[in-house]
Chain A
């Protein structure tokens, strides 16, 4: 069974640009969550999607957005990039939404390393 696939693995962008990251969850998983990981802040929750609907959102500015497609694949977009957006962006998939106790195990992709210069 294929794991969570994130593309691209590495990305370099300049300030002010926008970026779109992609995540394909494990087959059969309908929940996708996104996280930002930086040395200073650790793993921070961005948002969670289940059945194409955003179920939860972290404390990030509106420049960070996401969506989920009918095949459960998800994309996240960051507009007007800032230097501080440089981070490892991780996607995790699980069978159901995090509020379903029986389906809370989340499996991560390898991440997309975004560098903003």
Chain B
């Protein structure tokens, strides 16, 4: 099925480091959502973005809605061990309105 491309696929970082990941699409999105999924659990909504250029923070997390509406970025500052998990971007495709999820970025934090 159609998917959003996320990069990097995985990353290993030291505790305290900042993290950046992004999500790109070949088609326009009107909404971008960022989720985190822990093993064996459902994804948890972190941040929702509704407008091109919008920058929104949730604690140590900051996400941006790209100007072209075809990409979004998520930054995590001062990472901690509990940040470990898989981060997904998602949104309803503006043509089909179906929710599409990114391929995920697997984050591992080394203490």
Contact = CB atoms under 8 A, between A and B. Distances in A.
B29 to A, nearest CB: 10
Given A42-B3, A101-B30, A101-B31, A110 B100 contact: no
Given A33-B99, A42-B103, A105 B42 contact: no
Interface in B90-108: 90-92, 96-104
Contact of B98 (A42, A45, A92): A45
A98 B101 contact: no
B41 to A, nearest CB: 5
B21 interface: no
A106 B45 contact: yes
Interface residues of B, number: 27
B99 A4 contact: no
Contact of B42 (A45, A55, A104, A109): A109
A101 B1 CA distance: 23
Given A42-B104, A45-B100, A98 B40 contact: no
A113 B1 contact: no
